Chain A
């Protein structure tokens, strides 16, 4: 290897040092996601507070990982939870089984469940990975930044 080769090599090294780093300082800086990114689920309510989910179990049928559990119950005059005839008394998603395919979102005819952008889902215990209906009805506390159209990192 000649001296010229070495100079050339170091030239590349020094030029690279002047470039902006491509990495992000995760976890202080959160990786932004694109709008279609599928992360943690969320159940939705109508503006009047009634739940959109009517417990029809279509999402259960669609889920390839069999990780959703829905137990439906009739709405009554005194106890009205959802807009439809029935509502989901139990709605659970086992997040440790979920493969984030989004089929539940596709299957739901009432847009009651969607996959949002939150991706920090680790827990210390397996049991905590089973998300209950109350957890799913509240938005994830930490939302990652969203990438705008065509934005480069």
Chain B
């Protein structure tokens, strides 16, 4: 063992000792062991386990090698197909090595072979819980390249649907996180409301998931008759439903026990890792793109950004619930002040002509043929634009070369970046807490792998 390694071990051991002294207790055996073992790759760990097989049965503290456990990819509690190679010492996680890529779809690459218009149907499928945010980021980037103005009504429609999408995404998170920690009831309650929101998606966009509703220049269609009434019913009922979830969990002793003080990282470290969204705001950093860099008319809405104090899993839970309430407020403002006007820009070079004109206007028909067969040309350049998705900053970087197909589409997906926080968080935590941490970060594997 080299000297610097010993130093590291000594440092960790000292930290554990200090922690034990602060809490006024003896150093547990597992803590002593954990304090002495540094992070290693699975291969190294395996080699060392083989080399140390001789004293595998020894009970002496510190002589045990970590047990390598595969958590996932097919595991009901890893929030999707996430595989974690976990080094376990009894119940304590010494280290984790996330293995991703099980949901790789190659969507970013496929976009290069599709026209800008067709790529919309692909990008919705990346982060499958927030389809509207994916297209929003993508269309914004393309609109930036085209220098295309989106009509106010389209912007407001986008805000309204995005906020509804935020609610459904948080509801899935709430339901599945509850399920992972043993609270089955909340799953049914959350999915009850989610299904009604999906009905609204179906009503306006024709699909319940992977909706291709936003188009370059606006939205594919206006609100259908009766939509406003249904949405209003939904938002009037939603606050009382959120009260129900809070009644089930906020003071639930098991929920408190499992989430309080779990998965805390200092705010500086979160910022260094690039974490955004509720996970960052729970640690007290007030960063929300809707406020920091308003897009799509968010500056016209009155809402607050909930910020936490402790940065633990419980805070993240509270923040998501409060965000749902804020989303409800934004939707109400959208419904009250929805401006009149077209739902999509009137630029014949980019936007398909209205259906009714095809039968009457030869010019419209020619534009239609050209747009469908060739697609629209996007001037050479590159653009990045980001939206605040339920998990954080979802950015889309598009490079165009003047042709009808993008040269590169890249997504900065918050799930992928937020996953980086899991390893420092999980070190020296209990295995049961690791599940709570994965849940509280709300990573969607479709977004991680793309």
Which A residues are closer than 8 A to B by beta carbons?
A: 22, 33-38, 58, 61-62, 64-65, 99-103, 106-107, 109, 115, 149-153
Contacting residues, chain A, for B233 (C-beta < 8 A): 152
Residues of chain B at interface, number, CB under 8 A: 33
Q: Say yes or no: A152 contacts B114, CB within 8 Å.
A: no
On whether the beta carbons of B199 and A34 are closer than 8 Å, the reply is yes
The answer on a CB contact under 8 Å between B225 and A61 is no
Q: Are A36 and B202 in contact (CB under 8 A)?
A: yes
Q: Are A150 and B118 in contact (CB under 8 A)?
A: no
A56–B7 alpha-carbon span in the complex (Å): 74
* Residues of chain A lying within 8 A (CB to CB) of residue B365: 109
Q: Is B372 an interface residue (CB 8 A)?
A: yes
Taking chain B's interface residues, is the majority helix, strand, or loop, or is none over half, making it mixed?
helix
Given contacts A38-B207, A101-B212, is CB(A33)–CB(B369) below 8 Å? no
Q: Is B122 an interface residue (CB 8 A)?
A: yes
Report if A38-B206 is in contact (Cβ < 8 Å); known contacts: A61-B372, A153-B199: yes
Q: Are the C-beta atoms of A103 and B118 separated by less than 8 Å?
A: yes
Chain B residues in 8 Å Cβ range of A109: 358, 365, 368-369
Complex Cα gap A4–B363 (Å): 75
| Distance in Å: Cβ of B33 to nearest Cβ of chain A | 37
Expressed in whole angstroms, the Cα–Cα distance for A107 and B370 within the complex equals: 11
B207 close to A35 (CB less than 8 A): no
Contact of A149 among B122, B225, B372 (CB under 8 A): B225
A115 to B202, CA, bound (A): 14
Question: Are A150 and B230 within 8 A (Cβ)?
Answer: yes
Residues B203-249 near A (CB distance < 8 A): 203-207, 210, 212, 221, 224-227, 229-230, 233
How far is B122's CA from A49's CA once the two chains are assembled, in angstroms?
37
Contact check: which of B202, B210, B225 meets A37 at CB < 8 Å?
B202
- Asked if B296 is at the interface (CB within 8 A of a chain A CB), the reply is no
Q: With A103-B118, A153-B199 given, name 19 new contacts (CB 8 A).
A: A33-B202, A34-B199, A34-B206, A36-B203, A36-B204, A37-B207, A58-B373, A62-B117, A62-B372, A64-B114, A65-B121, A100-B207, A102-B206, A106-B352, A109-B365, A109-B369, A149-B226, A152-B233, A153-B196
A127 to B183, CA, bound (A): 43
Q: Across the A-B interface, give the 4 residue pairs with the lowest CB-CB distance, nearest first.
A: A150-B226, A149-B226, A64-B118, A36-B206
Residue of A nearest to B215 (CB): A106
Q: Which residue of B lies closest to A100 (CB)?
A: B207
A-B contact pairs, 7 of them (CB 8 A): A34-B202, A36-B202, A65-B121, A103-B118, A106-B372, A115-B206, A150-B225
* Nearest-CB residue, chain A, relative to B122: A64
A84 to chain B, nearest CB (A): 13
B199 to chain A, nearest CB (A): 7
Closest chain A residue to B211 by CB distance?
A101
Q: What is the minimal beta-carbon distance from B250 to any residue of chain A, in angstroms?
A: 15
| Any A CB within 8 A of the CB of B75 | no
**Residues of the B chain whose Cβ atoms lie less than 8 Å from the Cβ of A62:** 117-118, 372
Q: Does B40 contact A (CB under 8 A)?
A: no
Residue-wise interface mask of B (111-130) relative to A, using a CB-CB cutoff of 8 A (1 in contact, 0 not): 00010011101100000000
A22 lies within 8 A of B206 (CB): no
A75 to B224, CA, bound (A): 40
User: For window 167-215 of chain B, which residues contact chain A by CB distance below 8 Å?
Assistant: 192, 195-196, 199, 202-207, 210, 212
In the bound assembly, the distance between CA atoms of A35 and B205 in angstroms comes to 10
For the complex, what is the distance from the CA of A38 to the CA of B121, rounded to whole Å? 14
A150 contact set on B, CB distance < 8 A = 225-227, 229-230
Known: A58-B369, A64-B114, A103-B118. A36 touches B205 (CB 8 A): yes
Interface of chain B residues 346 through 364 with chain A (CB within 8 A): 352, 358
Bound: A62/B358 CA distance, A: 17
- Whether A58 contacts B207 in the complex (CB less than 8 A), given A37-B202, A64-B122, A149-B225, comes out as no
A34 vs chain B, min Cβ distance (A): 4
Q: How far is the CA of A35 from the CA of B210 in the complex (A)?
A: 18
> Across the interface, do B192 and A61 meet the contact criterion of CB distance under 8 Å?
no
Q: Which residues of A contact B122 (CB under 8 A)?
A: 64
The distance from the CB of B363 to the nearest CB of chain A, in whole angstroms, is 13
Please measure, in the bound complex, the distance between the C-alpha atom of A47 and the C-alpha atom of B355, giving whole angstroms: 21
Q: Which residue in chain B gives the minimum CB-CB distance to A102?
A: B206
